């Protein structure tokens, strides 16, 4: 289940490591001759313009829960109005150098695969091939009643027809703040019209695992296979606050597999990691690549 854990919260921002080249070289030493799995979080995508929930400079945000979405039509309307604007920002985002390096390492046989907690498809756009989208992606919409799946592009056309000029009206009310998980921060969404499933008139939901919702078992199993087949797990850009990602660190640690953590700020796995680096994902991975 993807839940917020009240037992641990990220610490305040710390000063980045001063000896980054030496620590990056130590990561490269650990990777040599090992089968490495990468676990990524929102911190790898912030340089691409996609904000996170828990970074040291991030504003406080309260994401919608699964229970709110399925239990209240008003919450659903509010979400779809935000998503109607926010998903286009995510679709327009492009991979940064960190995504590109991980895809290149996979092609070179240095990385066996990527488990990502992000829904932004940036690893896929960068060229990663063995990829577990743990929390789904913004690009698919599913009917909760009959299971029909459709692309977000197709739904966008329907919502545009039902809500002509909505984006322009919102823009006149002030700047639009884009939030994580393919939505935007809006206040007044009362005039937005939703769409139901075209096959059964059921409830449509993005193929994104909400807080309070279970991660599909087949994705967990695929991620477990990657971790179990690895000699090293490298966490990139995640505070690991959410248990659905942290469980793979725990799985590695309990079997004696080394864990490296690269993140801006303290993480839940710092006490368990073999090596930690406090720094920007793009900068650190570039230094690791140079050392390799």
Contact by Cβ (8 Å): 9, 253: no
Dist CA 26 CA 40 (whole Å): 19
Q: Which one of the listed residues 135, 156, 218, 270 is annotated catalytic?
A: 135
**281 marked ligand binding residue:** no
Integer Cα distance of 45 and 61 in angstroms: 17
Please provide the distance, in angstroms rounded to a whole number, between the alpha carbons at the two ends of the chain: 37
182: left (phi over 0), alpha (psi -120 to 50) or beta: left
Based on the number of CB atoms within 10 Å of its own CB, is 227 exposed (0-12), middle (13-18) or buried (19 or more)? buried
User: Is 200 annotated for ligand binding?
Assistant: yes
How far apart, in whole angstroms, are the C-alpha atoms of residue 210 and residue 201? 22
Q: Is 135 a catalytic residue?
A: yes
Which positions are annotated as active-site residues?
135
Q: Which residues are annotated as a binding site for Zn(2+)?
A: 143, 146, 197, 200
* Numbered residues of the known binding site: 143, 146, 197, 200
């Amino acid at each position: 289940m993807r839940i917020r854990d009240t037992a641990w919260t990220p610490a305040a921002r710390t000063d980045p490591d001063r000896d980054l080249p030496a620590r990056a070289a130590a990561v490269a030493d650990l990777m040599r001759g090992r089968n490495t799995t990468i676990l990524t979080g929102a911190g790898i995508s912030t340089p691409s313009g996609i904000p996170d929930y828990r970074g040291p400079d991030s504003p406080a945000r309260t994401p919608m829960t699964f229970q709110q979405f399925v239990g209240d039509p008003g919450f659903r309307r509010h979400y779809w109005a935000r998503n109607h604007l926010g998903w286009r920002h995510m679709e327009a985002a492009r991979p940064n150098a960190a995504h590109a390096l991980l895809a290149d390492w996979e092609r070179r046989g240095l990385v066996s695969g990527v488990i990502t907690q992000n829904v932004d498809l940036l690893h896929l756009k960068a060229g990663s091939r063995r990829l577990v989208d743990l929390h789904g992606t913004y690009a698919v919409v599913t009917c909760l009643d009959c299971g029909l799946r459709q692309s977000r592009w197709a739904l966008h056309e329907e919502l545009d027809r039902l809500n002509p000029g909505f984006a322009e009206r919102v823009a006149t009310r002030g700047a639009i703040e884009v939030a994580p998980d393919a939505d935007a921060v809006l206040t007044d969404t009362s005039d937005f019209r939703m769409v139901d499933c075209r096959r059964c008139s059921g409830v449509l939901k993005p193929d994104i695992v909400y807080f309070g919702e279970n991660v599909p078992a087949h994705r967990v199993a695929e991620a477990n296979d990657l971790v179990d087949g690895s000699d090293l797990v490298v966490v990139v850009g995640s505070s690991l606050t959410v248990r659905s990602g942290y469980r793979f660190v725990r799985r590695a640690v309990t079997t004696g597999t080394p864990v490296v953590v690269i993140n801006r700020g303290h993480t839940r796995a710092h006490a368990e990691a073999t090596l930690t680096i406090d720094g920007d994902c793009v900068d650190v991975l570039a230094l690791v690549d140079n050392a390799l």
